[in-house]
Amino acid sequence: MMTLSAAVLSHPGLRREANEDSVCARKDLGLYIVADGMGGHAAGEVASKLATQVIETFINDTREADVNTTWPFPYDVNLSLDGNRLTAAFRLANRRITAAMEADEALRGMATTAAVILANKGKPVVAHVGDSRVYLFREGTLTQVTQDHSWVTEQVRAGVLSEADARHHPWRHVVTRALSGGDDPEVDVRELDVKAGDRILLCSDGLSGVVPPDRVAGIIGRQAPLDQTCQDLVDAANEAGGPDNITVAMLQVDVA
């Protein structure tokens, strides 16, 4: 059975008074979440915390899951049971955000991204909405597992922008998909092939938006303890100006 070690760290950055990111690490569930709230101060913080809490609670409550667990959401036969659990959890979180906004006008317009790994039984499952990312580091190579749901990423994919232009574009923080209430969101879900020694990074764009991948790979590749690696990544983001909240979760596959 696969076992993971983990460490998490969140920092407001150097230019924000509040930290609208949320993070969850539940080794007993094999559940790790990074969420980046949007909507300004209180509202963004509420959205990310609410999404994180709803996803965590749903995964906890469906430990003894079967195909009926995702009700009232349909079961997707193309996904694993854990993939369906995560999809349902994201959609439930989106509905809770809708309810919160309906109950309090001050929260209108809030939203959050979320990147999640569930390493329960079988292959770890990655689910995400927005531009919080998951990376896999293996034998010196860093691979981005998730694809940002953002305007600039769509322009890069269409050949309109280069990767270099996208990193500095004024619209680089505009997401095209988020947990923002309304219709059930489309959640990207995939299984991850891992082996012992792999390291997995979940992060908000407070890291990925300012620290280039080769620098991230260099820090992870030092093979420092996970909590030190988290600190080094946060320090790198702050050294690059720290314009946004920074949240990182570092996982290591001890036994695959």
For the cut 70, the answer to whether the pLDDT of residue 225 exceeds it is: yes
For the cut 80, the answer to whether the pLDDT of residue 228 exceeds it is: yes
Query: What mean pLDDT comes out for the span 198-203?
Result: 98
Domains and CATH numbers, the chain: 3-255 (3.60.40.10)
For the cut 80, the answer to whether the pLDDT of residue 183 exceeds it is: yes
DSSP-H helix ranges across the chain? 41-61, 81-103, 151-157, 163-168, 205-208, 213-220, 226-239
For the cut 70, the answer to whether the pLDDT of residue 9 exceeds it is: yes
For the cut 90, the answer to whether the pLDDT of residue 168 exceeds it is: no
Query: What mean pLDDT comes out for the span 16-44?
Result: 92
For the cut 90, the answer to whether the pLDDT of residue 167 exceeds it is: no
Identify the residue with better confidence: 68 or 94. Answer: 94
Cα distance between residue 219 and residue 223, in whole Å: 8
For the cut 90, the answer to whether the pLDDT of residue 96 exceeds it is: yes
Residues whose CB is less than 8 angstroms from the CB of residue 161 and which lie 6 or more positions away in sequence, other chains included = 152, 155, 169
Instruction: At 218, give phi and psi (nearest 5°).
Output: -65, -40
Cα distance between residue 114 and residue 15, in whole Å: 22
For the cut 80, the answer to whether the pLDDT of residue 155 exceeds it is: no
Indicate the average pLDDT of the chain.
92
Identify the residue with better confidence: 109 or 42. Answer: 109
Query: What mean pLDDT comes out for the span 188-207?
Result: 97
For the cut 70, the answer to whether the pLDDT of residue 12 exceeds it is: yes
Model pLDDT for residues 46-87, shown as the tens digit of each residue: 999 999 999 999 999 998 877 777 878 889 999 999 999 999
Residues whose CB is less than 8 angstroms from the CB of residue 172 and which lie 6 or more positions away in sequence, other chains included = 150, 151, 152, 166, 209
Strand order in the sheet with 141-144: 3-11, 246-255, 199-203, 133-138, 141-144
